[in-house]
Amino acid sequence: MNELRPAVFLDRDGTLNVERDLVRAPADLELISTAGSALRQLARAGFLLIVVTNQSARARGILSASELEDVHERLKELLEAEGVELTDILHCPHHPTEGEPPLRVECECRKPAPGMLLHAAAAHQVDLSRSWIIGDAARDIEAGQRAGVRTVLVLTGKGESEQERCSPDLISADIAAAAHELLACS
């Protein structure tokens, strides 16, 4: 029987990498400067690192599956160069009103729904009661709350403008501050 482990679920855009209108190609992905060191600290503390990202550009036909895979491969490469190995990257390709079926659909994986977190918890034996989500949007915080994890809103990306729309457990300046504060609470 596998022991359940804590995880930190991580939003991608605005949390790990610099917020852009659209990250369509690997060259568009720029890590936030402190992301690597923050994730190394979390991994050393025993947390699984799982990216959970809404990617409705897939449903809207702006981004192909292979382009998204290339971006995620680049994310892995950049983090590996910083000594970080992600446990998993999950994405929701759906949008409820845009694009064509089967990607135009109300789903359980698009944040603020908790589906990606719950799927990852089952796949990786995650103890949700000891886990966290770090994100820059109210939808990240709500997904975490609905999944039963503690929440951190970072003020990078959309975070500054999202503060009034949610009630996270912690508010942190960036991913580095989030890691420090999260570890102090765990």
Residues labelled as active-site residues: 11, 13
* Inter-residue contact 157 to 137 (CB < 8 Å): yes
User: How far is C-alpha 6 from the chain's CA centre?
Assistant: 15
- Output the CA angle 122-128-104, nearest 5 degrees: 60
| CA atoms of 37 and 164, how far apart (whole Å) | 29
Sign of CA dihedral 38, 66, 116, 169: positive
Beta strands 48-54 and 170-172: pairing type?
unpaired
Which residues share a beta bridge with 127? none
